[in-house]
Amino acid sequence: MKGPLVPATESSATDGRVPTALDLDTLSRQLNRPVRDVVEIPARCVCGNPLVAATAPRLSNGIPFPTTYYLTHPVLTAAASRLEAAGLMNEMTDRLAADTELAAAYQHAHEAYIAAREAIGERAGTGPVPETAGISAGGMPTRVKCLHVLIGHALAAGPGVNPLGDEALAAVAEWWTAERCYCEGAWDNQAPVPNKDLSRHVKHLNQLKAEAAGNADSTSDSANTEK
Ligand SMILES: [Zn+2]
């Protein structure tokens, strides 16, 4: 395994995929929220910083998590959002309906995504996740619903696996390319590492936890009552 850009650390990971403590802090700063259940770093900037995080197919709280690859680098996520706002997803979805060759390649990408998730789950020891069998992410295999997912997959898998992910990655070249580092100023490296997760997803999980603990009114919708 190669990992020449990443200095040996206390975790002494010989495999650059395994996140170090610094990687996890960087991810939390990039996303401005604490990351959870990240088990691998499938793609890195030339400087070594994470571009994509791989999340365990089953979270430590037991919830199945199909979106294995998450684009984390702020320059890339902003670029993907720009392409989405410009209507690239609808254009791609229309082409999938008309171009059988593209549709077949995208179907293969869907299958590769699921296989990669299973391999990550095996390496992470999370076991099989029957709840998400046959489900990938981003609209695959017949639609395009999230360019962040497709670009994350393209970066993790390398070129030639996800044709529309490769296209989306080529389309962000105005703002980001693999050859150089865009990290400077892209997030606040001096800021404290975020430790409060205020995302909707986590509020929902907290609500489920509270309900499981029996201290929430089952008809209540008040997920925000405590932090
Ligand atoms: Zn960088």
**Within a domain: 16:** no
Distance 22 CA to ligand 1 centre (A): 14
CB 57 within 8 A of CB 120: yes
List the Cα angle 176/180/184 in 5-degree steps: 80
Q: pTM of the predicted model, to two decimals?
A: 0.81
Look at the chain and report how many structural domains it folds into: 2
Instruction: For residues 53 and 137, state if they share a domain.
Output: yes
Distance 58 CA to ligand 1 centre (A): 29
**Within a domain: 14:** no
Q: In this predicted structure, what is the pLDDT of residue 2?
A: 41
Instruction: For residues 138 and 219, state if they share a domain.
Output: no
Distance 172 CA to ligand 1 centre (A): 16
Q: In this predicted structure, what is the pLDDT of residue 17?
A: 92
Instruction: For residues 103 and 190, state if they share a domain.
Output: yes
Cα gap 154→166, rounded to integer Å:
6
**Within a domain: 160:** yes
Residue 11 clears pLDDT 50, i.e. is over it? no
Question: Which tokens belong to 41?
Answer: 């770093």
**Within a domain: 54:** yes
Instruction: For residues 213 and 187, state if they share a domain.
Output: no
Distance 188 CA to ligand 1 centre (A): 13
Show the domain range for 122.
21-196
Instruction: For residues 25 and 99, state if they share a domain.
Output: yes
**Within a domain: 4:** no
Distance 46 CA to ligand 1 centre (A): 6
Cα gap 89→86, rounded to integer Å:
8
Instruction: For residues 132 and 208, state if they share a domain.
Output: no
Cα gap 152→144, rounded to integer Å:
13
Q: In this predicted structure, what is the pLDDT of residue 189?
A: 85
**Within a domain: 133:** yes
Instruction: For residues 99 and 208, state if they share a domain.
Output: no
Protein residues placing their CB within 5 Å of the ion ligand 1: 45, 47, 49, 181, 183
Looking at the chain, the whole-number percentage of residues with pLDDT higher than 70 is 80
Instruction: For residues 81 and 118, state if they share a domain.
Output: yes
Instruction: For residues 125 and 215, state if they share a domain.
Output: no
**Within a domain: 30:** yes
**Within a domain: 2:** no
Instruction: For residues 122 and 219, state if they share a domain.
Output: no
Instruction: For residues 111 and 54, state if they share a domain.
Output: yes
Distance 184 CA to ligand 1 centre (A): 7
Distance 6 CA to ligand 1 centre (A): 12
Is residue 227 very low, low, confident or very high in pLDDT (cuts 50, 70, 90)?
very low
Residue 6 clears pLDDT 60, i.e. is over it? no
Cα gap 35→197, rounded to integer Å:
8
